[in-house]
């Protein structure tokens, strides 16, 4: 697995061994970031503060930093995955602009003041088939983790229903092989433009 684009393009990403972590494929990651770069409703990655929730290896967060994000918080409970995130941060020399939060994404609690301002972009890649996205979305709002117009990019299995959740608008939805990628925004933020169909 490698960084797709940006200042770390082509650099390898260390991933956890075993089956407990399922990293987002390079192709899906590239497609996801292409939507983020070109959609009118998407916030800019340049200068953004981002979260990588259910982070695994941290590939989505490191990709975001490679493309201009200034800070990433990795949320992960699995010890081997946190070790990979630390190793990747060291390899890319990013300790100053990354942090690991050892907390369940469905039990985040309130955002600690020491983490700074709320986040404008959240990547969410939970294990498939466990319906974890709705609970994690609720925690982001309840704990004041995100800006009012934040964008959440959630990856679920293509055979699962889209994670449409009360209080959130589905802006777009794409299918890439086994992955469904949904782009969501809190209803208190900017108005939704409606789902834009699927890409294969």
What's the pLDDT band for 193 if we cut at 50, 70, 90? very low
pLDDT score for 184: 96
String of DSSP letters for the chain = -B--SSTTTT-B----SSSS--PPPHHHHHHHHHHHHH-TTSPPSTT-EEEEET-TT-HHHHHHHHTT-SEEEEE---HHHHHHHHHHHHHTT-GGGEEEE-S-TTS--SPPGGG-SPEEEEEE-PPTTS--HHHHHHHHHHTT-EEEEEEEEEEEETTSPP---TTEEEEEEEEETTEEEEEEEETTSSPP--------
pLDDT score for 195: 41
pLDDT score for 192: 40
pLDDT score for 25: 77
pLDDT score for 16: 85
Whether residue 195 contacts residue 164, with contact meaning beta carbons closer than 8 Å, is answered with no
**pLDDT tens-digit readout, 120-159:** 999 999 998 899 999 999 999 999 999 999 999 999 999 9
Mean pLDDT (whole number) for 171-178: 92
pLDDT score for 23: 66
pLDDT score for 6: 95
Q: How many CB atoms lie within 10 A of CB 87?
A: 14
**pLDDT tens-digit readout, 75-110:** 999 999 999 999 999 999 998 999 999 999 999 999
Domains and CATH numbers, the chain: 45-109+119-186 (3.40.50.150)
**pLDDT tens-digit readout, 16-66:** 875 455 567 788 899 999 999 999 999 999 999 999 999 999 999 999 999
Q: Pick from 162, 147, 198, 150: which is nearest to 41 by CA?
A: 150
């Amino acid at each position: 697995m490698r960084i797709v684009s940006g200042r770390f393009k082509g650099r390898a990403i260390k991933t956890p061994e075993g089956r407990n972590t399922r990293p987002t494929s390079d192709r899906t990651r590239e497609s996801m970031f292409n939507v983020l770069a070109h959609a009118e409703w998407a916030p800019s990655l340049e200068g953004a503060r981002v979260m990588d929730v259910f982070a695994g290896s941290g590939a989505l967060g490191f990709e975001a930093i490679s493309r201009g994000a200034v800070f990433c918080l990795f949320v992960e409970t699995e010890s081997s995955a946190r070790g990979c995130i630390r190793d990747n941060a060291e390899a890319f020399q990013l300790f100053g602009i990354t942090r690991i939060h050892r907390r369940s994404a469905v039990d985040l609690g309130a955002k600690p003041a020491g983490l700074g301002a709320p986040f404008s972009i959240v990547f969410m890649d939970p294990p498939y088939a466990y319906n974890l996205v709705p609970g994690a979305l609720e925690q982001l709002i309840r704990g004041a983790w995100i800006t009012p117009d934040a964008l959440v990019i959630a990856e679920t299995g293509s055979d699962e229903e889209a994670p449409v959740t009360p209080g959130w608008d589905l802006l777009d939805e794409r299918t890439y092989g086994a992955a469904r990628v949904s782009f969501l925004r809190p209803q208190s933020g900017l108005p939704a433009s409606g789902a834009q169909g699927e890409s294969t």
